[in-house]
Structure formats: structure tokens, C-alpha cells
Amino acid sequence: MDYISTRDARRQRHTFSDILLGGLAADGGLYLPAEYPQLNDSDLTRLRTILNEEGYAALAGEVLTLFIDDADIPADDVRRLAANAYHTPTFSDEAIVPVAHLDNNLYLGRLSMGPTAAFKDMAMQLLGELFEYELDRRGETLNILGATSGDTGSAAEYAMRGRHGITVFMLTPRGRMTPFQQAQMFGLLDDNVFNIALDGVFDDCQDVVKAVAQDAEFKRRWRIGAVNSINWARLLAQVVYYISCWIRITNSNDEKVSFSVPTGNFGDICAGHIARQMGLPIDKLIVATNENSVLEEFFRTGRYQVDREALQTSSPSMDISKASNFERFVFDLLDRDASRIAELFGEQVPAGGFDLHEDPAFPQIAATFGFYAGTSTHADRLTTIADLHRRLDVLVDPHTADGIHVAKTVAQAQHITTPIVCLETALPVKFADTIAEAIGEAPAPTGRFAGIMDADRKVVDLPNDAAVVKAFIAEQLAARVDA
């Protein structure tokens, strides 16, 4: 299995271990498999048997070996790392990703069982294992720089805290996360974790990460890597739960399932696109956005316009106007034309966006790739949360409510009859104010989260300036070396 950059017209090939510790390719593109592995009927039957008889970790190990065949990472080690990542009590349910029926043809894929109660744990726990393994094998260290609009940061920090040879620097948009999310991140006092509150929005944080990644000398000197969803290994981990959800609600391999996915950065649903390209029987992939509807506008009109500031909403993890992983889908949409991708994302996106509505590929978004999209507002979130709580005694977070609302509206408009799995974003306790507005009371932090709001905080405020961020990183790493 070789990997290529979305912007490399020469199609230079790389191994999994070559790209594991990095984020962006040197040309600014994103890595994807040179060819997607294909699942035939016997493969699907084998994966179904593995999940049913051995569990999620075994399924993950089997899927990962389809993408990781380096001599440097033997298949037995891949399976062992998957077993280390997905187990109780790190995950609170033995199924790891249980699936619950809501009503009619709607299901809920429960991705909140991990240590930070967010779907990001599904990838980060595996990433921590893979990073530590590869660094130990090389005898090297890695300094992770990431950006988060909500849950990525805490999931990354919990996955990497205390790991040998790894330091984490996480950028957050100051004041843009919920109090619970801030407490969860800033409450980590580990020596290898640094929280940076940037004066800006999430897109600013993401731009700083990209600016640092494109400074080849700084990146090399300070061994900078990424854990945002631009990292291929993280996306790969997410492919697994599409397969497991499909297995859990089907009985035979000819049954199709659709997915509705709340998304701002296009990482979660991009994993679904990859699973579908592999041959998993996915019918439709429904992109659910909030008031920051840049992605919905593209799927409806063909215009991807990012020259706007993200609005602050009650589903903050989706408050994004530039979706980092979107490039991977457009690469496939445009028949993997790396030269066009380099122009679209390297030149036109920085200038404000691009328009594909007259491109012959545009009709294929739905016809060939199965994508539809819809938006959800604050009022829609409140109504959905209250309705599910009243009728089904089910409480969902605002992002998941976006996904459920959009699933219903798109299913009705497009006459979708296959089961629709709405992928959960996080536990409702992380968004207490919105839940209280919807049902009249806030869920209290209990169990593993009791007392989290009272913990000490460790965070530094910095301006929206890549040079200042780089100086801070260099200062902290130099101090760690001297110590």
C-alpha cells in the first residue's frame, strides 16, 4: 500500500511509515492511498465474523492491515496496537461503538464512549499507539502541533499525555469553546502538554498550523507533526467505525446503509467516503452543517466560498469555514488530477474559493459518490434535542442534533429509504448551556467527569501570529532539552 499527495502530479509514492508522523505533504497536499483496497463479498463476510466473534479491536486490526503493509510495522504489531487502543475501561462500553435505534429508519452510532466523551477519541487513541510505536522504533521524538474548535484538542492530549518522546502544542480559539471543553483541555497539567488560546477563530488556528507546517526548516529543526484530521492515520482509524456500524444493523452483505454526519472540517465524513470507495455498501453520505454552511453550499451549488469568518454557534465544533479534509474528496471527484487540486486548493482557496458548478464532475457528487447535504440552525438543534428527550428519553449533544435534523430533512427530500446511522459527536454534558435551553435543565458532570469544572488550568494566551506561536514552541522545546 503506497500513498500519494493530492497535489503531486508526479504521483511520487510513500509508505505508511513515511507519512505517519507528518501532516501536510511537502507540496501542501494531503496524503491518500494510491489505490483504495477493495472489499468483496467474502471480505465483508470475514469482517462481519471478526466483529461478531472477536470484537471491535480485532476488526480495527484487520482493517488497518489493509492500509499498513510496511515491513517496518508487521501485521501482528498492527493488531496489537489496535487492541491497546480499543478496550475497556478506556472506552466505557465493550462494544466500543454501540449502535442504538432511534425511530423509523434512524439509528445513532455512539462514538462518545472514549476518555473525553467525543468521537475524536476513536482516532486519537489509535494515533497515540502508532506514534509511540514508530518513534520508539526510530529512536526519535515528535512535537505535535494541532488546532481544535472543540473536541480534537482534549482527545489528542488525553491520547498523548505522558507518552515517551511526544510533546503536544494545541491551539484553541480563545473563548470559542464551551466551559466544559475548556476545563477538559486546560485541566491537563502534564509536562508534555501545552495549551495555547489564540486571539481568533478556529480557521485562524488552522491557518497557523498550516503556516508552521509549510516552514520546512522550522518543521525539521523542531520535529513538528500533526494530529488534526489532515493526518492520514487519524482518518484511517475512522474508516473502521463505518464498517462496524454497517455490520451491526445489517444481516447480509447486500443491505445498504446511509450515514448522516455532523461536520465542519470534513474529516469524519471523508472517512465514510473512503469506506464507500472501498466497496462498503453505503447508500448515501449526508453532510450536516450548522449555520456555517460552506460545505452545504458546495454540495448544493458547486461553489466553495471560504472568504468569510466562521459564525459562533451552539454547535461550536463545526464553526469552520475552511474544511481541511475537503481536498481529499475533491481529489477523487476530479479523477485524482493533482495539477487541478494544486490550483484549486493552493491558489484559489487562499484567494477566496472556487466554483465547480459547470464542471462535468459536479453531477457525479450525488450520482456516483452518494453525497447530499443540509443545514441546521440553533432553533433546529433545540427542537431536535427536546423532541428526542421527550419522546424517546434520549439526550444528544447539539452537533448530533444537527446530524439528526439534517438526516430527516434530506431523507424526506431525496426519498432515502435505507437505514440512516447518525454519527454521534459527543456526550451532551460537554454542551450544558444548550441542553439546558432545550430541556430546561443541564446534565451534571458525573462519574469520571465529576469535579472537572473545579480543576486547575494550564493555558497561555497568544496573538493570532504564526511567528509568535513558533517562537513560543521553540522556547518551550529548548527549555525541555536544557532540562
Q: Is position 276 within any domain?
A: yes
Task: For residues 346 and 339, give the distance between their C-alpha atoms in angstroms, rounded to a whole number.
Answer: 10
What residues are paired with 374 via a beta bridge? 288
Percentage above 70 pLDDT, the chain? 99
Q: Is position 240 within any domain?
A: yes
Q: Is position 432 within any domain?
A: yes
Cβ-count burial 388-412 (b if 16+ within 10 Å, e if not): bbeeeebbbbbbbbbbbbbbbbbbe
Q: Is position 48 within any domain?
A: no
Q: Is position 245 within any domain?
A: yes
- Rounding to the nearest 10 degrees, give the CA dihedral for residues 115, 116, 120, 126: -30
154, pLDDT greater than 60: yes
Using CB atoms within 10 Å of the CB of residue 41, give its burial: 0 to 12 exposed, 13 to 18 middle, 19+ buried. exposed
C-alpha cell at 443: 446534565
259: closest CA among 380, 404, 444? 404
Confirm if 414 and 302 have CB atoms less than 8 A apart.
Answer: no
pLDDT (0 to 100) of residue 483: 55
Mean pLDDT of the region 24-38: 94
pLDDT (0 to 100) of residue 450: 75
Mean pLDDT of the region 329-339: 98
Q: Is position 30 within any domain?
A: no
pLDDT (0 to 100) of residue 150: 66
Other residues' Cβ atoms within 10 Å of the Cβ of residue 256: 16
C-alpha cell at 236: 484511517
Range of the domain at 342: 99-115+232-439
What residues are paired with 13 via a beta bridge? none
Long-range (24+ apart) CB contacts under 8 A made by 96-101 are 96/55, 96/56, 96/57, 96/244, 97/56, 97/122, 97/241, 97/244, 97/245, 98/248, 99/245, 99/248, 99/249, 99/421, 100/394
Share the mean pLDDT of the chain: 93
pLDDT (0 to 100) of residue 436: 96
In three-state secondary structure terms, 96 is: coil
CA Rg value for the chain: 21
Confirm if 298 and 327 have CB atoms less than 8 A apart.
Answer: no
384, pLDDT greater than 90: yes
Percentage above 90 pLDDT, the chain? 74
286: closest CA among 264, 269, 304, 266? 269
CATH number at residue 276: 3.40.50.1100
Could you tell me how far CA 248 lies from the centroid of its own chain?
Answer: 22
Q: Is position 412 within any domain?
A: yes
130-134, 175-179, 218-222, 260-264: which range is least confident on average?
175-179
Mean pLDDT of the region 329-350: 97
Q: Is position 425 within any domain?
A: yes
Query: pLDDT tens across 416-460, in order?
Result: 999 999 999 999 988 989 999 999 999 877 677 777 787 788 899
77, pLDDT greater than 60: yes
Highest average pLDDT, of 19-23, 108-112, 319-323, comes from: 108-112
Count of domains observed in the chain? 1
Mean pLDDT of the region 401-422: 98
Task: For residues 237 and 230, give the distance between their C-alpha atoms in angstroms, rounded to a whole number.
Answer: 13
- Active site residue ranges: 120
Task: For residues 400 and 184, give the distance between their C-alpha atoms in angstroms, rounded to a whole number.
Answer: 20
Query: What sign for the dihedral angle of Cα 151, 153, 159, 162?
Result: negative
Question: What H or E segment, with its residue span, contains residue 155?
Answer: helix 152-160
